[in-house]
Structure 1
Amino acid sequence: MQNAIRTPHQTTAYQAGIFQPIPMIGRYVFFQLAPAADTVSLKASLTRMKSLVDGESVVAGIGQQLADRLGMKVPGLREFPALSGPQDVRVPSTPAALLLWLRGSDMGELVNRTRALANLLRPALDISNIVDSFRHGPLDKTHAHDLTGYEDGTENPEGEEAQAAAFAHGQGPLLDGSSFLAIQQWQHDFEQFESFSASDRDDLMGRRLSDNEELEDAPESAHVKRTAQESFEPEAFVLRRSMPWLHSSKGLDRSGLMFAAFGCSLGAFEVQMRRMAGLEDGIVDGLFRFSQPLTGSYLWCPPMHNGQLQLGQLGL
């Protein structure tokens, strides 16, 4: 499929990396506004950044903080809402000014690219956090796996339905082809997860690990039932592009899933997250029994035009 949405006057393309399969390795580089950042320095930094953001090896997402500092509005963009639910469920909000999702197969290349991008964005933007990620599971399968072994993204829409779910359309040349990203870093407690029986694990997910088949008799708390995209009104389809992550420090490993959902708006993710947290009917998603979100951010991924990131909505 061509990554283009045609209008009468131009061809607007989405950032191709959003639609492509999960890369072998990824790097999520989050930026915060520098104390002295002003409109002039921000515009200069973002203009320089465009030379290294091709939408494929580097996918860019703009946060509400950055848009606000520029005095611009992106329709549909807002900050991630912090949520509290039954059973002491906590879903944190950790706003970011900018996210660059680096995609590739050579970690050295991603490290060098990170440094080059950070240099271009100074002095207006500073790196606040980096999360390194990787593909897990059989390479001959369409979907990658979470570190629990379960397949991730099974219910993703495909083809034209995926394009419709993931990218804005009919909103004008500055917005068409853009995508809204909800991203969370979930940390798994593997000691807790491995204490469950194999059947209990399947019930938490709502699928069998052995063949990825959905369980008809799964409990209402099963992740598959909490997030069944067609069960919402209106239907809440998103394009998931999640990757496992790992951080080692002082001889200890922390790991989990960098959950990423791309949508034509933030609404589909938001209703799913509220149901997962038990805010819809008091039933908490089984994932919370062994995993917790550490972060939560909303970002707007601008479209591409003539091979360059289109930042006209931000006045550039």
Structure 2
Amino acid sequence: MSNEQTGILAPLPKLARYLSFELAESETARESLEALQEIADGHEVVIGIGQSLTLALGAEIPGLTILPARACVGFDIPSTPAALWCWLRGEDRGELFHLSRRIEIALSDAFRMIHSADGFKYDEGRDLSGYIDGTENPEGDEARAVALTGADEAAPTDSSFVAVQMWEHDFDQLDTYSREEQDDIIGRRLSDNEEMEEAPAYAHVKRTAQESFEPEAFMLRRSMPWSHGEQGGFIFVAFGHSLHAFQAALDRMAGVEDGIADGLFRFTRPRTGAYFWCPPMRDGRLDFSALGI
């Protein structure tokens, strides 16, 4: 019997809302998390725990850390850790609004919201650049093995680790590139989503080919576009049974290995970046036993 938060493996919803919280009062953290258990079902509301919260509770989740910041040639990769992350999944924007209010009220004795963003599904799963995201996502049993911890791992079984980044696109800059140049940046043709064998070394697909790492860096992507006014981009969300795959891919994108930066940085930048641990479920409730709750 599996006990994961089912929203991790479920297909992308039509709409999403992402909430990040800092811990304001550690003395009441347990009570607030118990209140959260009454709301978060693991499907419509997926929960991630940050390292600062585990430390405040006197707990340790093996493998959980914070995303390291990177200063690269011409751009920065920020680290913006948070104590708690909530991924709200749904089909109605009004319902997501009221659900987020319920969560914020339930957590108000101990947590303070520091960031929120709304996501949406675009066409068949495209980024606002027009390119399809997650083409090589694992499916079925393979997705489960990639995204969830097993009984032989140090973290609790059926839990998961997640990397979350909010990327902001410069659409004016993107528009200066020809269709061929945009295809080169991604490493796939927009017209048919086929991978380009002769793509340049900076192409995103080449930089992040999951099987090219040692060990292989497979992850389950659950990303969605966001927009606010004239701004827009991508909420990158990737689940794994550890944080290795994402960190390896991000380091290569940044050119840590060979000085070649991913082509994506030509028109987009990450504005946030954080790692979280997603606890399993037990008897229909979030299982916070590893946190002493």
Structure 2 length normalisation: TM-score? Answer: 0.98
For the 8 Å contact 1:137–1:149, the answer to whether it is kept is: no
1:33 and 2:19 aligned? no
CA offsets, 1:224-272, max 9 Å, x none? Answer: 0000000001100000000000112xxxx11000001100000110000
Distance 1:224 1:264 in 2: 22
Q: Is the 8 A contact 1:174 1:312 kept in 2?
A: no
Query: 1:198-231 CA deviation, whole Å, 9 max, x = no partner?
Result: 0000000000000000000000100000000000
- In the other structure, the counterpart of 1:295 is 272
Q: Distance in 1 between matches of 2:51 and 2:152?
A: 19
Contact 2:6 2:42 in 1 (8 A): yes
Separation in 2 of the partners of 1:234 and 1:171? 17
Identify which of 79, 89, 105 aligns with 1:103.
Answer: 89
Instruction: Please list every run of 5 or more consecutive structure 1 residues that lacks an aligned counterpart in the other structure.
Output: 6-12, 139-143
| Deviation of 1:174 (Å) | 6.9
The one of 51, 66, 88 equivalent to 2:74 is: 88
2:253 equivalent in structure 1: 276
1:209-248 alignment, distance < 5 Å: 209-248=190-229
Residue type at the aligned position of 2:287: Q
Code of the residue aligned with 1:42 in structure 2: it is: A
Contact 2:62 2:155 in 1 (8 A): no
Gaps of 5+ in 2: none
CA drift at 1:71: 1.1
| Residues 174 and 310, structure 1, Cα contact 8 Å, conserved in 2 | no
CA distance in 1, matches of 2:259, 2:119: 33
The 4+ residue runs of structure 1 with deviation greater than 3 A are: 171-174
What residue is the counterpart of 1:74 in the other structure?
Answer: 61
> What is the aligned residue count?
293
Q: CA deviation at 1:38?
A: 2.3
**What is the CA–CA distance in structure 1 between the aligned matches of 2:221 and 2:167, rounded to whole Å?**
14
Secondary structure of the residue aligned to 1:45 is helix
Per the alignment, residue 9 of structure 1 pairs with none
Partners of 1:174 and 1:303 within 8 A in 2? no
Question: Is 1:127 paired with 2:117?
Answer: no
Counterparts of 2:224 and 2:170 in 1: how far apart (Å)?
17
Map residues 147-158 of structure 1 onto 2, 5 A cutoff. Answer: 147-158=128-139
Contact 1:244 1:258 (8 Å CA) reproduced: yes
1:59 aligns with 2:36: no
CA–CA separation in structure 2 for the residues paired with 1:206 and 1:261 = 20
The residue that corresponds to 1:141 in the other structure is: none
Question: Shift in Å at residue 89 of structure 1?
Answer: 2.7
Pairwise CA RMSD: 1.2
Counterpart position of 1:8: none
Structure 1 pair 173–206 and aligned structure 2 pair: CA distance change class (3 A): closer
- Which whole-Å deviations, capped at 9, do the CAs of 1:67-123 have from their partners, x for residues lacking one? 1111111110011100122x3231000011101100001111111111111111121
Cα gap change, 1:225/1:103 in structure 2, threshold over 3 Å: closer, same or farther? same
Q: Give the letter for the 1:285 counterpart.
A: D
1:309 aligns with 2:282: no
CA distance in 1, matches of 2:260, 2:252: 8
* TM-score, with structure 1 as normaliser: 0.91
Secondary structure of the residue aligned to 1:131 is strand
- Quote the Cα distance in structure 2 between the aligned partners of 1:225 and 1:254: 28
Percent identity (aligned): 51
Structure-1 residue corresponding to 2:167: 186
1:14 aligns with 2:4: yes
Find the aligned partners of 2:216 and 2:153 in 1 and give their Cα distance.
24
